[in-house]
Amino acid sequence: MSKESISKVHLILEKIDYIDQIVQNSGSITKALEDSITQRPAILMHLTAIAEQFNKLKKEHADDILSAFDVDDVKGMYDVRTYIAHDYEGVNLAIVEWIIRNGLPKFKEQCQSIIK
């Protein structure tokens, strides 16, 4: 594992932590996503940044790192990134909520095990 690839994993963890902080500060995922002025856009940008790091790992052929993740989960994250980038106003918040509730904890655990 290259130092550069590991730094991308650290960045993914950092972005997940930022989303966790946003949700915690607002009191719930639903409340954070209802705030269309600051919290929702911040969450969507962090999700986009997470997907971009996975895409960079793929382009670097960092298979040793990517093999720690479910291929469908990574593809799903990148699909969400594409949807956010191209249809910002029409983002399905139920999907975003599912990702925050179910996907991010899984990614976080996988990232932490890679770093160890």
Per-position DSSP letters for the chain, written without gaps between them: --HHHHHHHHHHHHHHHHHHHHHHHHSSHHHHHH-TTTHHHHHHHHHHHHHHHHHHHHHTT-HHHHTTS-HHHHHHHHHHHHHHHH-GGG--HHHHHHIIIIIHHHHHHHHHHHH-
pTM (2 decimals)? 0.92
Q: Which domain holds residue 89?
A: 3-115
Q: pLDDT tens for residues 38-94?
A: 999 999 999 999 999 999 999 999 999 999 999 999 999 988 898 888 876 678 899
Which range is least confidently modeled, 26-30, 41-45, 84-88, 110-114? 84-88
Residue 34 has which token pair?
A: 């209802």
Domain count, the chain: 1
